[in-house]
A and B are shown apart, each in its own frame.
Chain A
Amino acid sequence: MRGALKSGNVFCKNRIGVTGLGILSVFILTAIFAPFLAPYDPCEMFEPMAPPDSQHVLGTNDIGQDIWSELIYASRISLFIAFTTSIIATFIGTLSGLFSGYYERFGFFVMRVVDLFLALPRLPLIIILAVFMPTSIWNLIIIFVLFGWPITTRIIRSEVLTLRTRPYIDSERMMGAGDLYILGRHILPNIFPLVVVQFVMEARHVILAEAGLSFLGLGDPTSKSWGMMLHYAFEYPTIFISEVWKWWMLPPGLCIVVVILALVFVGFALEEILNPRLRREIV
């Protein structure tokens, strides 16, 4: 417990990390409490293309929906896709990494599959898949998971490979501990920090990829994410001629940038905490 407390302490002292976490929690809370925070139902229609005023903070879009409410609900979709994907991908990656690091022969085969995935160009393939699959949130998640787990597997495996040769693992084996026990009780806790970092990295990646796909029109039109908002705004013919882009395009774009920044900050901080060499005091 003291170790955890100490890590927590270091994290708090880390301003970047705290900032990142702060921003992230604002977004997450917004997503959770969207129905309470949004002034209107995002599907409700008002006068189209109204500029911002006291009624509509960010005006309305081409079919008269309140952009502010739309933005709040979109954070739900964006974050849901990002976190669901990272949870599944990190989970699969961690499990396969654990076993492929511990069992040499199994690892050999898993690694060839991982090699295959890593050798393929990720984004173009995702786009092609997205074109051919019916657009829905779950299909997006499946695609992202498919390309997300191999990296985690590889990273976790290499860590397990070094942990496996530690004397304390050998001494566990000498005590008659089974493989599953050793993996679960001794190796997993030691790679857990890495898993957390991988989770954050994956979430960052998915937010960006999802925004990209949706912007291209490959997202789910029934549940609008920030990327989808950008897509519709961009399709509006006179978006850049008038001032509309300022309240229609800029906000979702900013949201994407800020969330990614927040994730990067958290990732930075975690890395610093988990990599003792970066916070080395003295021997």
Chain B
Amino acid sequence: MLEVKGLSKYFSSGILRKRYTKAVDDVNFSIKRGETLGLVGESGCGKTTLGRSILRLIEPTAGKVLFDGIDILKLNKKELRTFRPRMQMIFQDPDASLNPRMKIRESIAEPLKLQRVEKCEIEGKVQELIERVGLSPEHANRYPHQLSGGQNQRVVLARVLALNPDFIVADEPTSALDVSVQAQILNLIQDLKRELNLTLLFISHDLEVVRYMSDRIAVMYGGKIVEMGDVEDIFNDAKHPYTKLLVSGKEVV
């Protein structure tokens, strides 16, 4: 379903003497329909850049991103706009992912309006989505700052669901949340994924979370994917020294 080939993103700095940082360096992988690929790595290893490059939120330097056979990087602006709703992203900070000046209802109605859903249907759909992500109707009239981080992340999910996407990049969706809330959100994502047969790229620095969420895991280090495999293989039989380091010292609780 999604195939990433030789994807690279270099950042340049300096005007006269250019220096390049290889944030993502020749990354290859593919994700099957309905699969969750977990992407782990420490901060600064390029995992967020990778996620954003796939969605063209930043323009990659080189490579191919094939989505159902279509190379996303070759689409022009207009084609990209119509194509985009099929791929969605969930960001790390739920409070910043919503327009602070919009009520929850407006925020959720927005993707529907952009999809040219009939006006009379919108209100009903919004209600449906609010319920679907486990919020109650009274939340609709509030503003993001009046809700907790977990509730806002639910709103973000509702917005994403409104678009009926096939593929979602979840970039540390729960790292800003408390443990008890993290569990709620992760379970919700799992449920939705199963129900709607979503394909997921799940980015996190938390190995345990990735283990719970993913079918396969890719370990990223210094801009490259150093190891990729089934969850249990990674945990029981790591090959790369960095993966070993990650897996070995996990705290026993």
Contact = CB atoms under 8 A, between A and B. Distances in A.
B83 to A, nearest CB: 8
A2 B82 CA distance: 34
Contact of B143 (A2, A170, A172): A2
A178 B91 contact: no
A3 B101 contact: yes
A189 B111 CA distance: 18
A190 B89 contact: no
**Interface range on chain B: under 10, 10 to 19, 20 to 34, or 35 or more?**
20 to 34
Contact of A175 (B52, B85, B92): B85
Given A171-B159, A176-B114, A186 B81 contact: no
Contacts of B110: 172, 175
Q: Most chain-B Cβ atoms within 10 A of its Cβ — which of A170, A171, A172?
A: A171
A167 B159 CA distance: 13
A145 to B, nearest CB: 29
B105 to A, nearest CB: 12
Interface string A61-88: 0000000000000000000000000000
Contacts of A120: none
B101 A170 contact: no
Interface string A159-203: 000000011101111111110010000100110000000000000
Nearest to B169: A174
Contacts of B114: 175-177, 181
A175 B163 contact: yes
Contacts of A175: 84-85, 88, 110-111, 114, 159, 163
A167 B81 contact: no
Interface of A: 2-3, 166-168, 170-178, 181, 186, 189-190
Contact of B93 (A3, A167, A176, A181): A167
A179 to B, nearest CB: 9
B187 interface: no
Contacts of B88: 171, 174-175
Contacts of A174: 55, 57, 84-85, 87-89
Interface string B152-193: 000010010001000000000000000000000000000000
Contacts of B98: 168
